[in-house]
Chains A and B, each alone.
Chain A
Amino acid sequence: MSYIRAENISKQYGNGDATVMAIQDIDFTVESGEFVSIMGESGAGKSTLLSIVGAMNPPSSGKFVVDEIDVYHLGSEKRTDFRREFIGFVFQSFHLVPYLTVLENVMLPLTTVKATKKRKRTLAEEALDQVGLTGKEQRLPSQISGGEKERVAVARAIVNDPPVLLADEPTGNLDSKTTHEIMDLLQRLNQEGTTILMVTHSQDCAAYAERILRVSDGRLIEGEGLVEALCLDRKIPLTGAGGLMLRA
């Protein structure tokens, strides 16, 4: 069985006249250690999909399984624990805590974990080292650049070494040099075994992935194809639900 399984998932927001079908009847699987890009037009439902994978957003219907855990059948606190242990999340808009330093922001996911202060600090410093931010530990989020914030967000997502890393447009606000640094970092993490799902608008970045899920109007686009990789000299398969099912 695949590591991540989404079965017939739909999510609607609101009710009555205000109902929005954010995603509809989505099926896909992701193997452990895969690097998958999610692409699609704005409002297609990418963030919604990612938040469902991130155990933060219960789908209206369907089943979502990670590592044989039926995530949305867990009680609310258990699901929180699941998030802490399985998921690292890089948000679309960083979401750093403004009054905590860079180091403290990175330590945040360890707050409720049983470990000594020193151990937590070491882990956070290691994560910051991985994203190349050593030396800026004591700065506040307001005292670093956008690219650095993004890297802090990544460091925070990986500090507790989660098996799954979710990133929602991690390079949306960055120049191409910083973009490549972040993408190289994600790729390195992926090579070390982290399963990555990343939402992106950029073909460049999508090309880092082994696979692309294309979302349009709340549905996965069927069929297979190849996407021109612009920042890497390789071509990768573009798959929709159908393609994935074939592989599964």
Chain B
Amino acid sequence: MNLRDIAFKNLLRRKAKALFVLAGLAIGVSTVVALISFVDAMTENINHKLEKYGANILIVPKTENLSLTYGGLSLGGVSFEMQEIREQDLAKIQSIKNAANVAGLGPMVFGVVNVEGNRVLLAGVDFEANWILKPWWKIDGTIPGEKGLVLGSETAVVLGLNQGSPVTIRGRQLTVSGVLKPTGSQDDQLIFMPLKTAQAILNKEGLVSMAEVAALCKDCPIEAMVKQISDVVPGAKVMAIQQVVKGRMEALSQFKKFSYGVSIVVVLVGSLVVLVTMMGSVRERTEEIGIFRAIGFRKSHVFKIVLLEAGFISAAAGILGYLAGFVVAKGAIRLFSESGGASIQPSFELLGGSFVLAVLVGLMASVYPAYLASRMDPNQALNAI
């Protein structure tokens, strides 16, 4: 038998108290783990989107109070029934100072149409430009000709159509030339067709709803290009996607700060639970501590017993807290991440971190109770019984 055995046996005897301390610490740790995992996953998700987003400048009509979402990024604008940009204005982009940096220009026109009784969002796009703007697009089938269209993967399922199916839209006979492989973005729910065809169907000849620009270069003067484009395209709002992302990153970093604050509070409360419970436990054990001291346990031995107990519980709380936090973060991500994409992987670093955090907090909160225990006078402790 050694000090560790004594500590362990005492824990087993006072299961309720041990569980209480365990819960206090585990809740603290799991909160920290959940918040960190959540923030990390969201950050990574945004970075990932930014990375795979071919276009880096968006041109949208200058409208107030719109909340347009595209590509999973909130760009401020609703409804596709909105003002349009004239196609001929877009052409002027070729004349801006940094025109050489424009690798691709993708005008798009949007409109809602009825297909087989379903309201679907129709997008007219420039399929050629899309090679650059949406490099992740994979089409099962061929790029549509004048009378063809491509279905988003979900649209295809909902409408029950596949390659070769004939479709009638606003009285026009068209053919499905291909189906877009799932992209995990809004594109899955759209119908795509060549810009000209879509403009004709939607009665928007010569008009576009928005345009994406891929400025391909290292350290592109994006800000300058944004300025140049807004100068030549009147009535349009030109935005660098990075700015949009930056805005989101800022929101996220606010949330990060907030969550650190919450973590600190929760961990403090957890350590208070440990402190109070350990104090109670030490006081309850006056007799046995008196016995220990009387039969020759040094102060340091008693101190060690209390800290060993705290250490055992804390270690367990670290691991449990990590697992709980992981589960919570997974749930939260499912609720908060739009159009999927963000996910949380188990992290050994975080597990190690939780372990260290729990043990550190548990031990620190037990130092004072352990000190009180070690200072107990054996004679008084035993007389008091």
Whether B298 contacts A99 by the Cβ 8 Å rule is no
B297 lies within 8 A of A89 (CB): no
B379 touches A57 (CB 8 A): yes
In the assembly, what is the distance between CA of A223 and CA of B288, in Å?
40
Point out the residues of chain B lying under 8 angstroms from A97, CB to CB. Answer: 288, 291
Q: Which one of B5-13, B29-37, B192-200, B256-264 is at the A interface?
A: B5-13
B228 to chain A, nearest CB (A): 80
Question: For the complex, what is the distance from the CA of A56 to the CA of B297, rounded to whole Å?
Answer: 12
Residue-by-residue, is A89-101 near B (CB-CB < 8 Å gives 1, otherwise 0)? 1010101111110
Contact (A100, B296) CB under 8 Å given A56-B378, A95-B385, A111-B3: no
Taking A56-B294, A80-B296, A104-B1 as given, write out 5 further A-B residue pairs in contact, using a Cβ cutoff of 8 Å, ordered by the A residue number: A96-B291, A97-B291, A98-B288, A111-B6, A120-B1
A62 on the B face (CB < 8 A): no
Assess whether B291 is in contact with A93, with CB atoms less than 8 Å apart: no
How many chain A residues touch B (Cβ–Cβ < 8 Å)?
31
**CB closest chain-B residue, reference A107:** B1
Query: Which residues of B line the A interface, CB within 8 A?
Result: 1-3, 5-6, 9-10, 12-13, 287-288, 290-301, 378-379, 382-383, 385
Q: For chains A and B in complex, what number of residue pairs have CB atoms within 8 angstroms?
A: 73
Question: Who on chain A is nearest to B12 by CB?
Answer: A99
Closest to A88 in B: B295
Please state if A84 and B296 are interface contacts (CB–CB under 8 Å): yes
Point out the residues of chain A lying under 8 angstroms from B293, CB to CB: 56, 80
* 29 pairs from A and B in contact (CB 8 Å cutoff): A47-B383, A51-B379, A56-B378, A57-B379, A76-B299, A77-B298, A77-B299, A80-B298, A80-B299, A81-B298, A83-B295, A83-B296, A84-B296, A89-B295, A95-B382, A99-B10, A99-B12, A99-B13, A100-B9, A108-B291, A108-B295, A109-B295, A110-B1, A111-B1, A111-B6, A112-B296, A117-B2, A120-B1, A156-B295
Q: How far is the CB of B208 from chain A (nearest CB, A)?
A: 79
* A contacts, CB < 8 Å to B: 47, 51, 54, 56-57, 76-77, 80-81, 83-85, 89, 91, 93, 95-100, 104, 107-112, 117, 120, 156
Give chain B residues whose Cβ lies under 8 Å from the Cβ of A109: 295-296
Contact B382 A91 (CB under 8 A): yes
Most chain B CB inside 10 Å of its own CB: which residue of A51, A80, A84, A89: A80
Cβ of A132 to closest chain B Cβ, rounded Å: 22
Chain A nearest CB, measured from B120 CB (Å)? 71
Which residues of the partner chain B approach A120 to less than 8 Å between Cβ atoms? Answer: 1
Cβ contacts under 8 Å, A77 to chain B = 298-300
The answer to whether residues A89 and B9 also contact, given A95-B287, A107-B1, A117-B1 and a CB cut-off of 8 A, is no
Given A93-B385, A111-B3, A117-B1, A56-B296 contact (CB < 8 Å): no
Check if B297 sits within 8 Å of A80, measured CB to CB: yes
A156, B299: Cα distance in complex, Å: 20
A244 to chain B minimum Cβ distance, whole angstroms, is 25
- Give the distance to chain B from A89, nearest Cβ to Cβ, in Å: 6
Closest to A106 in B: B1
Please indicate the chain B residues that have their CB under 8 angstroms from the CB of A54 in the complex: 294
A104 to B10, CA, bound (A): 13
In Å, the complex CA distance between A210 and B12 comes to 46
Please name all residues of chain B whose beta carbon is closer than 8 Å to the beta carbon of A81 when the two chains form the complex: 296, 298
Q: Which residues of chain A are near B385, meaning CB under 8 Å?
A: 93, 95
